[in-house]
Structure 1
Amino acid sequence: MAGGNAIRGSRVGAGPMGENERGESAPRRTVSYYCANGHVNSPSFALGEDFEDPEIPLEWDCPRCGLPAGLDPENPPEPMRNEPYKTHLAYVKERRSDAEGAALLEEALAVLRERRGDVEVVAAD
């Protein structure tokens, strides 16, 4: 068979890909961010119309360690302080004193006893 596929030996996307096929890339500005672990990250931001500076964020997350990175190499931002997980009970205890908690518990138990028909309990003052 002398025939065959006309594009034999090539693959999708193969061939020259220069700016004349893609178009010109937008002008960019590279900014360096520094984290507390000494990593340097340099993302580039596309300039706006009339080549004005883009809005550059003051902080950027470091892709290597995840800490916040800032523009000042001498003063990188402090790592965020993670608070330990709190249960619902811990949050309730922050809002209520032990006496208030005991009063609420006694009130709830009295409602349950009344609903069940148990012996009536006189609330203490």
Structure 2
Amino acid sequence: MATAGHAIRGSRVGAGPMGESERGETAPRVRVSYWCANGHETQPTFCASEDVEAPDTWDCPRCGFPAGLDAANPPAPLRNEPYKTHLAYVKERRSDEDGAALLEEALETLRARRAGLRHAS
């Protein structure tokens, strides 16, 4: 089937001849400078309203470190804890003696259950 060149043309939201008068006035804005420990400067834009304050820290988009408002004293990078297994967390909470006692208790319970199954059959 051939088309006659009558395609439906769409437009995106906000496109067209509309200007400020139809969309309303934009809110006043202010750019705030943040610096990270690597010396990167980031300048996000915030609303310049009196009841809105810029945050004290902002994540640097280049390196991911936290950035602060003071270029001379940027915040220190966050220290990431290495991944720990479940066993590592258990070992932090219990001593070797506690672990041996719990293991022995679990083995006794298992042996008693198996002995009861042998007598039942």
Deviations 1:85-121 (A, max 9, x none): 0111111111111111101100100000000018xxx
Q: When the two structures are superposed, what TM-score results if normalisation uses the length of structure 2?
A: 0.78
User: Which of 87, 90, 93 in structure 2 is aligned with 1:92?
Assistant: 90
CA distance in 2, matches of 1:82, 1:24: 44
Q: 1:102 aligns with which of 100, 103, 108?
A: 100
TM-score of the aligned structures, taking structure 1 as reference length: 0.76
Which amino acid counterpart does residue 26 of structure 1 have in structure 2?
A
**AA partner of residue 12 (structure 1):** S
The answer as to 2:24 corresponding to 1:26 is no
Q: Is the partner of 1:29 in helix, strand or coil?
A: strand
Structure 1 window deviating more from structure 2 (12-21 vs 79-88): it is 12-21
1:68-90 Cα distance to aligned partner (Å, 9 max, x none): 10000011111110111011111
**Which ranges of structure 2 fall in alignment gaps of 5 or more residues?**
117-121
1:69 maps to 2:67? yes
Taking the aligned partners of 1:107 and 1:11, their CA distance within structure 2 comes to 72
Aligned to 2:36: 35
Aligned length: 109
1:11, CA displacement in angstroms?
6.3
**How far, CA to CA, are the matches of 1:34 and 1:21 in structure 2?**
38
Q: Percent identity?
A: 69
The structural deviation recorded for 1:62 is 0.9
Unaligned runs of 5+ in 1: 119-125
Tell me by how many angstroms 1:15 deviates.
4.1
RMSD of aligned Cα (Å) = 2.4
Q: Which amino acid aligns with 1:74?
A: A
| Cα distance in 2, alignment partners of residues 29 and 36 from structure 1 | 23
**Aligned AA for 2:114?**
R
